[in-house]
Amino acid sequence: MEALRVEGLSKDFGGVQAVQNISFSLEVGERIAIIGPNGAGKTTLFNMLNGQLSPTAGRMFLFGQEITAMATYRRAHLGQARSFQLISLFPGLTVFHNLLLALHGTKPSRLGMFRSTTDYGNIVAKAEDLLHSMGLWERRNDPMRTISYGEQRKVEIALSLASEPRMLLLDEPSTGLSAAESKEIVDMIRDLGLDITVLLVAHDMDLVFGVAERIMVLHYGQIIADGTPRKIQADSKVREIYIGIE
Amino acid sequence: MSRGPGRRAVIGYLVSSAPYITGALAFVLSPLLLPTYLQSMLTKVLIFSIFAMSLNLLWGYTGLIVFGHAAFFGVAAYTNGILITRYGIESFWLAAPIAILITVLVAAAFGFIALQASGTYFSFITLALGLLVYSAASKWRSMTGGHDGLIGIPLPDLGLPWFTTWNATYFYFFVFLAFAVCFFLLYRLASSPFGYALQGIREDEPRMRSLGYNTWLHKYIAFVIAGLFAGIAGVLYSHLMRAVFLNFVGMLTSFLAVFITVIGGSGVIFGPVVGSIIIIFLEYFSSLYAPERWPLILGIVFVIVMLFLREGVSPYLVRVWKKVIPIWKP
Amino acid sequence: MDLWVLNLLNGISFGMVLFLLAAGLSLTLGVMGILNLAHGSLFMIGAFVGFFVFSGGGSFWVAALLAGAIAGLVGLVLEKAFLGRLHNLFDAQAMLLVGVVYILGNLGLWIFGPQNRLASPPLSLAFSVRIGNYTFPAYRLALILIGTIVFISLWWLLAKTRIGAIIRAGMDDREMTTGLGVNYGLISTAVFSLGAFTAGFAGAIALPMIGVAPSIAWDILLYSFIVVVVGGMGSMLGSLIGSLFIGLVDTFSRALFPDIATFTLYTVLVITLLVKPSGILGRKGILQDMERL
């Protein structure tokens, strides 16, 4: 079954063609990585998939439904979630409340105005599970800004998993992490169920090869290669871009 | 269900409400110790607490910088006064709800217009709308009395057969009751998922949208609720002053709420109450010794707070209370 | 017909005064990201200084320059001593400025009293000029001339000098500009003080037209804000067009329907914000900067 389909997607920033006529489709359960040099258009593509940027041309379909002009929050309700390259958490709130916020996000309880947010038993239970699995139970009442960068990265991903998404967009999930910490992220992603489709943007080749079964290479806003990791490694165009630049 | 967790929950509840209960007791017992004119001042403190708490919902919680919040305060006061003095609607239970309803409608309209923009432009629009209301109030002399104001508003007619004569103390308790209800409701709102969502919007709105929140709707609802509570404060103030004047919708009143919220501390629900106590008493002393210099004093205090005490006074109070009961959380 | 021409002249000359204010406000907003809420107070300070020097027998022009200098000095002190301490805390800076407005306003009231004081145009300009079939007061024409000169100077500064290029770069992307090793703090202080100078100067030369009272601070601030929003931030031409537009709208609506004159202005503001928020000639970069939420 098709999870995500993109047709002729383009983004033009008044003269700069960040993304040019991109088309691809992902099956449910696939693990795909998008790689490419800086400025290739990866984040622009993600921002369009997420709804933060509107495309200049093209269409997008999530689980068969057209989402081209759909607001970001509605895409979340369709099962899409996204993590951010620049850690996008709520620094003034505690770790616990960060998780609660994320967990309420796609539930009707998010508009609840009378009961305390900690009163919703099953949501609190899930938050506690997440805290335990990330080893952050002891820090649960600390303000988010006081926990380490590596831990914040884990929370960043945990927040996007909170809504039990079917389509997960991970934007440079291992940015700023040590090799050991990146390995933890790889394991985290590998542990995800096959009902979740994962699309990630990354520079970290260990992460890419550890997770992806299919790689798309972006260059100047266009997909110049699309295939298994082996095929991509052997592709001459790809080698030219990476080695040419390095 | 074992007894352990149940009892712990009750103790937890008592601990967390202890400061509020203490504060409430202080407010309830103070009339016994204070002369009448100070009771009126405390009444004003409570009314402006409600007003500032409504503003804090937008400033402190949601991060929405609104100017012109006094528009809702004043519209409610004027409507209440007009209904009573010009339309002969004497019953408090009729005039007040109508006044508040009209205020909510105005807030719904203003919120819709203002939230078409965001950031500085949003603030500009709220400023313009506030000034618009001021302009309208000063021009519509037949209704509002213009610069002379609307006078002759009696204390609320509650229609209770066994209660016919007011005095300052009774009115103080009446306002305290209203304040307690408002405080309770706003406290629940702040601890609810909606309340935390507002904080999330303040911290990182794009993330909130990715998490599934319709942030525009949240902001809009917050705006209208803030207008509602500002309206309640306005109605009560029209009764306290027995009149409604143009400055009720003026810039100074809007900024007074801002000053109160910032000086008291916008991070906690009771911050504006603390700020209100400080500012209203400061105003009182100023009126005794240097009435003309009140804006100057207020400005100086505010500048000092902005430079050195940006979090307001409340964090210190929280720290003091935590020394008494270490496990308490606001 | 004469009435139309008269109002046209008055509208344009008022617009020029507004331009002097709006230019400073717009630059400060673009370069520093601060809403200078004290801008009206600086205008008021200039007007008071100008009034007392001029009515004390001094030359009108000396009074105006002195007014600008003193206002500029106050602006400098404000920026260095107060705003500088709240680096990058935009909301705190805005609120601090509100406090300053109250301080300055009340000081003005205390020292000068609440009444509005008008001045008559200086002797050097107390004549009329005949153009075609119409006679115009030279004072009004002088305002237009001054405004035009200031506009050309500022436009040239921004468009043709290196400093201007730095300022424009800063308005588009503050982080990049500081990263390029530019002493942004110095530029910010300079821009702020320049804005304060023009505000004070404007206050003084506008005395025969507007007069001065402590209440002018808020009123003229609102006008300036509306101009900046309608004309677009960071663009001198935009500020000029916006100022002339608002000056004309205000003058004509006061002449034609005085009761709802203020409403006309607010309506223009709200429509602009809803239809084209960046203003007539606004720079996109600033718009994104301002939408922090």
Label each residue of C129-179 as H, E or C: EEECCEEEEHHHHHHHHHHHHHHHHHHHHHHHCHHHHHHHHHHHCHHHHHH
Q: What is the CATH number of the domain that holds A230?
A: 3.40.50.300
Here the contacts of C253-262 (C-beta below 8 Å, separation 24 or greater) are: C255/C3, C255/C7, C259/B139, C260/B139, C262/B131, C262/B135
Distances in Å between the Cα of A81 and the Cα atoms of A78, B32, B217, C27 are: 9, 59, 20, 40
Does B184 touch chain A if contact means CB atoms closer than 8 Å?
A: no
Beta bridge partners of C128: C137
Mean pLDDT across chain A: 89
Q: What share of chain B is helix, strand, coil (3-state, %, to 5)?
A: 80, 0, 20
B263 CB neighbours in chain C (<8 A) are none
Q: How far is the alpha carbon of A246 from chain B, nearest alpha carbon, in Å?
A: 34
> Between B251, B300, B301, which is nearest C218 by CB?
B251
User: Tell me, what's the pLDDT at B328?
Assistant: 67
Contact A92 B199 (CB under 8 A): yes
Q: What is the DSSP string of B232-281?
A: HHHHHHHHHHTEE-GGGGSHHHHHHHHHHHHHH-TTSTTHHHHHHHHHHH
Contact A88 B196 (CB under 8 A): no
Q: According to the CATH classification, is domain C2-290 in 1.10.3470? A: yes
**Contact (CB, 8 A) for A34 and A200:** yes
Please give the structure tokens belonging to residue B247: 């400055």
Mutation to test the C interface, candidates B67, B120, B139, B266, most C Cβ within 10 Å: B120
Contact A72 B206 (CB under 8 A): yes
Residues of chain C with pLDDT under 50: 284-293
Which residue of chain A has the CA closest to B201? A90
SS3 C212: strand
Does A116 touch chain B if contact means CB atoms closer than 8 Å?
A: yes
Q: How far apart are CA B42 and CA B23, in angstroms?
A: 13
User: Tell me, what's the pLDDT at C96?
Assistant: 86
Per-residue pLDDT tens listing for chain B (330 residues): 445 567 777 777 777 788 888 888 888 888 888 888 888 899 999 999 999 999 999 999 999 989 899 999 999 999 999 999 999 988 999 999 999 999 999 999 999 989 987 777 788 789 888 988 988 898 888 888 888 899 999 999 888 888 878 888 899 999 999 999 999 999 999 999 999 999 999 999 999 999 999 999 999 999 999 999 999 999 999 999 999 999 999 988 999 999 999 999 888 889 999 999 999 999 999 999 988 889 899 999 999 888 888 888 888 888 888 887 776 666
Residue A24: pLDDT over 90: yes
pLDDT in tens, A66-77: 999 999 999 999
SS3 C56: coil
B1 CB neighbours in chain A (<8 A) are none
C102 CB neighbours in chain B (<8 A) are 255, 295-296, 298-299, 302
**Sequence letter at residue C255:** A
- Angle, CA of B222, B223 and B224, to the nearest 5°: 95
C101 CB neighbours in chain B (<8 A) are 299
Contact B195 A113 (CB under 8 A): yes
Contact B120 C290 (CB under 8 A): yes
Nearest to B305 by CA among C86, C185, C34, C90: C86
Nearest to B260 by CA among B47, B95, B20: B47
> Between B194, B199, B213, which is nearest A112 by CB?
B194
Q: How far is the alpha carbon of B197 from chain A, nearest alpha carbon, in Å?
A: 7
Q: How far apart are CA A91 and CA A87, in angstroms?
A: 10
User: Tell me, what's the pLDDT at A191?
Assistant: 87
DSSP B59: I
> Between A50, A73, A117, which is nearest B191 by CB?
A117
Q: How far is the alpha carbon of A209 from chain B, nearest alpha carbon, in Å?
A: 27
Which residue of chain A has the CA closest to B217? A111
Contact B212 A111 (CB under 8 A): no
Q: Which chains touch C (3 or more CB pairs under 8 A)?
A: B
Contact B303 C96 (CB under 8 A): yes
pLDDT in tens, A199-235: 999 888 888 888 999 999 988 888 888 999 888 888 8
User: Tell me, what's the pLDDT at A200?
Assistant: 92
User: Tell me, what's the pLDDT at C286?
Assistant: 42
User: Tell me, what's the pLDDT at C283?
Assistant: 56
How many structural domains comprise chain A? 1
Which residue of chain B has the CA closest to C104? B296
- Which residues are CB-contacts of A119 (< 8 A; sequence separation ≥ 6)? none
User: Tell me, what's the pLDDT at A94?
Assistant: 92
Contact B193 A73 (CB under 8 A): no
- Which band of pLDDT confidence, cut at 50, 70 and 90, is reported for residue A246? very low
Which phi-psi region, left, alpha or beta, contains residue A5 (left: φ > 0; alpha: ψ -120 to 50)?
A: beta
How many residues in total does chain A contain?
246
**Contact (CB, 8 A) for C232 and C281:** yes
C266 CB neighbours in chain B (<8 A) are 128-129, 131-132, 135
For chain B positions 210-249, those within 8 Å of chain A (CB to CB) are 210-215, 218, 221
Which residue of chain C has the CA closest to B202? C293
- Which band of pLDDT confidence, cut at 50, 70 and 90, is reported for residue A85? confident
A37-51: average pLDDT: 87
Q: How far apart are CA B244 and CA B236, in angstroms?
A: 11
**Sequence letter at residue B296:** L
> Between B64, B296, B307, which is nearest C103 by CB?
B296
User: Tell me, what's the pLDDT at C291?
Assistant: 38
Tell me the H-state helices in chain C: 2-32, 39-55, 60-77, 90-112, 138-160, 162-172, 174-179, 184-205, 207-210, 216-231, 236-256, 261-275, 284-290
Contact B210 A160 (CB under 8 A): yes
User: Tell me, what's the pLDDT at B54?
Assistant: 97
Contact C274 B306 (CB under 8 A): no
Contact C229 B121 (CB under 8 A): yes
> Between A76, A92, A112, which is nearest B193 by CB?
A112
Please give the structure tokens belonging to residue A175: 């940015």
Domain range for A86: 2-245
Q: How far is the alpha carbon of B51 from chain C, nearest alpha carbon, in Å?
A: 19
**Contact (CB, 8 A) for C116 and C213:** yes
Q: How far is the alpha carbon of C225 from chain B, nearest alpha carbon, in Å?
A: 8
A49 CB neighbours in chain B (<8 A) are none
B65 CB neighbours in chain C (<8 A) are 91, 94
A28-46: average pLDDT: 88
B197 CB neighbours in chain A (<8 A) are 101, 104, 110
Does B204 touch chain A if contact means CB atoms closer than 8 Å?
A: yes
**Sequence letter at residue C193:** S
